[in-house]
Amino acid sequence: MNVLTKSGTILILILLFSFQSRQDPMAGKILDEVGQRYKKMAGFSADFSHDSENNAGEVKSTRNGKIMVNGNKYRLSSGNITLICDGKVVWSADKKSKEVTISDYEPEPDDITPERIYTFYQKGYKYMFMGEVKTKTSVWQTLDLEPENIQKEVSKIRLFVDKKNRSITKWILFERGSNDREVFEVKKFVALTKVDAAQFGWNKAEFPGYKVVDLR
C-alpha cells in the first residue's frame, strides 16, 4: 500500500468513526430537558391517537388509546386490548376473545418501555435536530433518532417536542425495509401528583368471564 492510499484509508476511517459517534448537541439538550421534565412527575396519564400508515403516508387503520404510567407500572388501553403491568407481571386482556394472558414482565435491555421512554435515546441511538414545525397553537421541534443496531425492526423514530413546555406531542416509528410507519399523537396529557396503585393490578371483577392463560 503506497503512502497516498494509506493516508486516504486512514482519513476515511477517521471520518467514518466521527460520523458514527457524533451526536447533535442541540438534539441532546432538548432530549435531556424532556427527560428532566417527566422525571419530576409522580406519574402521568395521556389520551392518544394511533394511525398505521403505508410508505406513501396513506392511513390504513386508526384507533385511540389511553395510558397511565407510574415508574415501571403502567396501564394501556387501545382498541380491544388492555395491558396492565404492576412492574413484575403483565396482564394482556383481549376484549374480543374474552381472554387474558398473564406473563412475567421481563423487558430486554434495549426495549423502549414506559419507564424508559424518556431515557432510551441515551444508549444505542444517534439523534439529530431536524427543524421546527408551527401548529395553530405552538411550535414543535423535530428530532430524528436512529438505532445504531441496523437489525432493529424500527429504522427511525421521529419525535415532535413542544418548544415551550418540553412535552412530547407526537412520534412516528418507521419500519425498516418497507418504510411503513406507526404514528402516535398525544391528544390530552395530565401530570399526576398522586397515583392509585390499584390501577396497576389485576381486578377480576373488571373483566368478568375472561378465560385466563397463565404463561409464567
Give per-residue pLDDT as tens, 17-65.
333 445 789 999 999 999 888 888 888 999 999 999 998 889 999 999 9
> Is 189:169 a contact under the CB 8 Å cutoff?
no
- 128: phi then psi, degrees, rounded to nearest 5: -145, 135
**123 three-class SS:** coil
**What is the reported pTM?**
0.81
Q: Residue-wise over 181-216: b if at least 16 C-beta within 10 A, else e?
A: bebbebeeeeeeeebeeebbeeeeeebeebeeeeee
pLDDT in tens, 114-135: 777 778 888 888 999 999 999 9
Amino acid (one-letter) located at 59:
V
